Structure 1
């Protein structure tokens, strides 16, 4: 008979892992897996605050306390570096965003038995959880869910609608995809909905891109103290709190650098955070984000030069990179293999690498380490509270 075994850590996908390698769903470090397969909760096991936990795919770790999650976030980064043979210098204390702080989300709506259900999908399924509470979304976003449910309840027939909600400076930006709107009456109904709920913007996408239906004033997000036009569907760090932690960390690491290249700059999250002490080149492939960054820099008089360039197909070359005191990069989840290869050939003294995927980051880190860079520090950030999604900032020096 198998003996009792203690849960010693959390695996990448959220299962608890025993010392002998067994994976146990919804187990926390310190729990004990008894010989009969039942679980004895330990000191880090907590009662999940949300009724939907275990069904909703939005959270995986609500059964763990903050200490266990902080350790998990740090270990994801440390183990990823170790797996690629990269020596890690200082590990900064993990930063965890608080509950109800998510300022953007992708929800789904569907007709079920003639009634609308709205929420995240179930884990590993296309079924939608009819969300009646949420402990991760900012209250302004969740407050719109019952209103959307009422709006869709008037619809007849079957439908499947994707809902993007983002908290911008003017309120909630609501983007609907897959919703059929026919005739004046349905159009006026949507406009009345937007007005009644004080939306910053309402857009519809019929398969040809988002079309604004309601936008009393241009939607903006403030980055580094600069209001930047927010394209529908644009990228933001998941929480303002997490963004502030990442920005403060890279500002500290790159203090004294007079010129910085911000690669995969997006709307300018880090470019505007660094601009002032430094002159920043903000390089981005998405045209709408590039134009928004460029216009905002011009209006604010910030020393940010926006460049439109696809860094996957046309990375900055070593001779271009060598002009800068430091480089910051914040690539998509796939990482930045080609751009990192050019960085490895450069003479840039400091590289701040922000990542939303420890696995691709560690792969790129190994390439930099092989070229003589040292991974001096890393700071894990858990913006997606209670999820297995981990972000980080890291500093490489030569």
Structure 2
């Protein structure tokens, strides 16, 4: 509230931002609000999208927020300015890098690499040029991918090896424009999903926080229940397919080749009753006959949603439950309207805040016949 004398009085849900880079850094936009308001904001993003599609409001479950300092994957930018190497997220709506000196969202194991990376990257980035840094925590440690860096000569190669060894990296890979090339990987990098270790591709996809993954999985398992035959569409490495396969027969469908190979090998090793299919669901969605083989459907599409798959799901006569995981309330609401028009009921929605203090919202929705 702004008083008549110009004094600004914080509102009842205002809190002091924990990070000194807020609000300049574009990594967080909402550090100034308390958890109650942030949870309400996430719920309103979903209900607002549903209202735009003229859908009846389902039960909106209490939002689950990941704690601070738990983000296990991040994409940072690095830039050389004279003798300095700046590393961090971009400013909001800008290409300027906020030189990261603290971070309230990253897992400490990721943030611990920021300062050493400044020294490593100095000789590998040309002045006023930018590079990319992608970090993910896997079973063996940190998987590090460096993009647009120049590794020339024996000294540069030795520097990479020393860095990887000194910081006990799970893998260090370089992408010079032709795809990731591992330079250090003492043993195959894996992530454990549903008790099964799955080979992790360089810069592969993993849910942003362990708490977020657990919340999404628990809700998916509740919705699927005891369904004996389940299809997991856009399955990725098997975040949902592998846990579900412990008690059901599962078809996992994914368009990314590396993820398919990793999931298939992991399922075979664990002797899970699972079929893994490499298929682009945007170009070749499951048809009605294929959909009607299953009792429940799980889908976790990218931000574009799953519009091409909706007609077959909407027309299904056998499927009784759908667990729709989404990272984009707008495309989710569009797809939900197609299901509701086909006779489905949107029963509940669970907001999940994995990207704490950002405007990014994830959800799990329950559809029933």
Q: What TM bracket, shorter-length normalisation? A: over 0.9
> What is the TM-score with the length of structure 1 in the denominator?
0.90
Aligned equivalents of 2:366, 2:125: Cα separation in 1: 54
Report the counterpart of residue 375 of structure 1 in structure 2.
346
**How far did residue 37 of structure 1 move?**
7.7
Query: Is 1:68–2:32 an aligned residue pair?
Result: no
Query: Is 1:356–2:356 an aligned residue pair?
Result: no
Report the counterpart of residue 147 of structure 2 in structure 1.
177
Query: Is 1:305–2:284 an aligned residue pair?
Result: no
**How far did residue 185 of structure 1 move?**
1.3
**How far did residue 278 of structure 1 move?**
1.1
**How far did residue 309 of structure 1 move?**
0.3
Change (3 A) 1:37 1:260: farther
Report the counterpart of residue 362 of structure 2 in structure 1.
391
**How far did residue 156 of structure 1 move?**
6.9
Report the counterpart of residue 135 of structure 2 in structure 1.
165
Gapped runs of 5+ residues in structure 1?
A: 1-31
Change (3 A) 1:86 1:137: same
Report the counterpart of residue 141 of structure 1 in structure 2.
110
Report the counterpart of residue 13 of structure 1 in structure 2.
none
Q: 5 Å matches for 1:288-367?
A: 288-347=258-317, 348-367=319-338
Q: Retained in 1: the 8 A contact 2:257–2:278?
A: yes
For residue 229 of structure 2, the aligned residue among 259, 269, 276 is: 259
Q: Retained in 2: the 8 A contact 1:281–1:307?
A: yes
**How far did residue 291 of structure 1 move?**
0.6
**How far did residue 81 of structure 1 move?**
1.2
Query: In structure 1, the residue corresponding to 2:95 is in which secondary structure?
Result: coil
Aligned equivalents of 1:316, 1:292: Cα separation in 2: 22
> What is the TM-score with the length of structure 2 in the denominator?
0.97
Q: 5 Å matches for 1:1-398?
A: 32-33=1-2, 39-155=8-124, 157-158=126-127, 159-347=129-317, 348-398=319-369
Q: Retained in 1: the 8 A contact 2:124–2:151?
A: no
**How far did residue 35 of structure 1 move?**
6.8
Q: Retained in 2: the 8 A contact 1:114–1:157?
A: no
Give the number of equivalent residue pairs.
367
Aligned equivalents of 1:330, 1:38: Cα separation in 2: 47
Query: In structure 2, the residue corresponding to 1:46 is in which secondary structure?
Result: coil
Aligned equivalents of 1:201, 1:381: Cα separation in 2: 30
**How far did residue 33 of structure 1 move?**
4.9
Q: Retained in 1: the 8 A contact 2:124–2:150?
A: no
Aligned equivalents of 1:33, 1:345: Cα separation in 2: 55
Aligned equivalents of 2:62, 2:272: Cα separation in 1: 32
Aligned equivalents of 2:29, 2:81: Cα separation in 1: 25
Query: In structure 1, the residue corresponding to 2:276 is in which secondary structure?
Result: strand
**How far did residue 157 of structure 1 move?**
3.7
**How far did residue 154 of structure 1 move?**
4.2
Change (3 A) 1:354 1:33: farther
Structure 1 range deviating more: 378-387 or 345-354: 345-354
Aligned equivalents of 1:384, 1:162: Cα separation in 2: 20
Q: Retained in 2: the 8 A contact 1:104–1:164?
A: yes
Change (3 A) 1:153 1:39: same
Report the counterpart of residue 26 of structure 1 in structure 2.
none
Q: Retained in 1: the 8 A contact 2:85–2:121?
A: yes
Change (3 A) 1:218 1:37: farther
Change (3 A) 1:257 1:184: same
Aligned equivalents of 1:171, 1:36: Cα separation in 2: 54
Gapped runs of 5+ residues in structure 2?
A: none
**How far did residue 184 of structure 1 move?**
1.2
**How far did residue 88 of structure 1 move?**
2.7
Aligned equivalents of 2:4, 2:349: Cα separation in 1: 39
Query: In structure 2, the residue corresponding to 1:260 is in which secondary structure?
Result: strand
